[in-house]
């Protein structure tokens, strides 16, 4: 059984369609990436899958539970790191994790061990008892991932897990995400604007554009589909799949597409 399955999942905000008839299947153990420019509908998709936002129409299930009618069961299976930095800055890192360990019903006998273990896994032992307001952005991100892995949930949603991090911190987060999958078999569903992130990390990616999936496959498959040999980058793949609808002809097209996408990716 697929761990995530969506069926014409759709969400409108007034007249705007943020997610448009999304059909996705994610298997257990994947690191699945949703790539797309600002406003593509990535966060809206995650919010629906995490039961925060009811869909306008369509269906989705997580580990066999319907996101709408069995939301309490869904919440027992998933962890979520929002796009915004959401750790409580007025508590210590340890306390942040402790509270969530309790909310997720970790037995008292294991709590301390798991919390310290997760902090250690993310390289945060030394700062564990400092208030989070003294952490760097990278440390907060790692703390949030530590929090979401405490409970060994089956499925983790990470909304732009490396946004605002420098390359070294980003790489550290990537490594931790991969370790998490390899050691605990956690399925990861993440979003990103960064092509190299998707390339490095994901077993499969979906390119999202204007609420629709423009292409889906492993990074290698997508590059192959562009059909220009080995050295195509995912950036080019992205342009290939999302620039298609505006056909301006000639060489000029490639340039304007590149510009357009570059602007979106900011």
Site residues for another protein per CB under 8 A: 47, 50-54, 72, 75-76, 78-86, 88, 90-91, 95, 99-100, 102-105, 131
Q: Which of 136, 141, 238, 121 is nearest to 190 (CA)?
A: 141
**Cβ closer to another protein: 29 or 82?**
82
How many positions of this chain bind Mg ion (CB under 5 A)?
3
219's CB contacts (< 8 A; 6+ apart) are 198, 199, 202, 205, 234, 237
Please give the order of strands across the beta sheet that includes 65-66: 16-26, 4-13, 57-62, 65-66
Please tell me whether residue 50 binds Mg ion under the rule CB under 5 A: no
Show the binding pattern over residues 55-94: x = contacts Mg ion (CB under 5 A), - = does not: ----------------------------x-----------
Please tell me whether residue 162 binds Mg ion under the rule CB under 5 A: no
Least distance in Å: CB of 137 to ligand ATP? Answer: 17
77's CB contacts (< 8 A; 6+ apart) are 62, 63, 65, 153, 154, 155
Residue 85 binds which one of another protein, ligand ATP, Mg ion, none, with CB within 5 to 8 A depending on kind?
another protein
Least distance in Å: CB of 36 to Mg ion? Answer: 9
**Which 3 state secondary structure label does DSSP give 197?**
helix
Least distance in Å: CB of 43 to Mg ion? Answer: 3
Reported as type and span, the H/E element at residue 29 is none
| Neighbour count for residue 251 (Cβ, 10 Å) | 7
Reported as type and span, the H/E element at residue 192 is strand 187-192
Q: Which of 3, 31, 32, 43 binds Mg ion (CB under 5 A)?
A: 43
Q: Tell me which DSSP letter residue 140 carries.
A: H
**Cβ closer to another protein: 10 or 51?**
51
Residue 265 binds which one of ligand ATP, Mg ion, another protein, none, with CB within 5 to 8 A depending on kind?
none
Residue 36 binds which one of ligand ATP, another protein, Mg ion, none, with CB within 5 to 8 A depending on kind?
ligand ATP
Chain center to CA of 234 = 17
| Contact set with ligand ATP (CB under 6 A) | 13, 16, 18, 36, 38-44, 83, 193
Location of structure tokens 């039961």: 51
- The footprint of Mg ion (CB under 5 A) covers 42-43, 83
């Amino acid at each position: 059984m697929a761990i995530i399955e969506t069926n014409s999942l759709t969400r409108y905000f007034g007249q705007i369609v943020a997610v448009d008839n999304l059909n996705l299947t994610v298997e257990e153990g994947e690191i699945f990436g949703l790539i797309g420019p600002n406003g593509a509908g990535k966060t809206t998709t995650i919010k629906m899958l995490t039961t925060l936002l009811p869909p306008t129409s369509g269906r989705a299930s997580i580990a066999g539970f319907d996101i709408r009618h069995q939301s309490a069961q869904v919440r027992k299976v998933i962890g979520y790191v929002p796009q915004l930095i959401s750790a409580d800055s007025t508590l210590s890192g340890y306390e942040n994790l402790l509270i969530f360990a309790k909310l997720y019903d970790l037995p008292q006998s294991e709590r301390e061990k798991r919390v310290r273990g997760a902090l250690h896994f993310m390289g945060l032992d030394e700062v564990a008892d400092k208030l989070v307001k003294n952490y760097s952005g990278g440390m907060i991100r790692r703390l949030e991932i530590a929090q979401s892995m405490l409970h060994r949930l089956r499925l983790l949603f990470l909304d732009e897990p490396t946004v605002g991090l420098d390359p070294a911190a980003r790489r550290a987060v990537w490594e931790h995400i991969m370790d998490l999958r390899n050691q605990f078999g956690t399925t990861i569903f993440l979003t990103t604007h960064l092509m190299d992130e998707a390339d490095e990390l994901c077993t499969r990616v979906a390119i999202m554009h204007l609420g629709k999936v423009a292409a889906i496959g492993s990074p290698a498959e997508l590059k192959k589909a562009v059909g220009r040999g080995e050295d195509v980058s995912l950036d080019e793949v992205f342009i290939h799949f999302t620039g298609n609808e505006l056909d301006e002809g000639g060489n000029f097209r490639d340039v304007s597409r590149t510009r357009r996408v570059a602007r979106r990716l900011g």
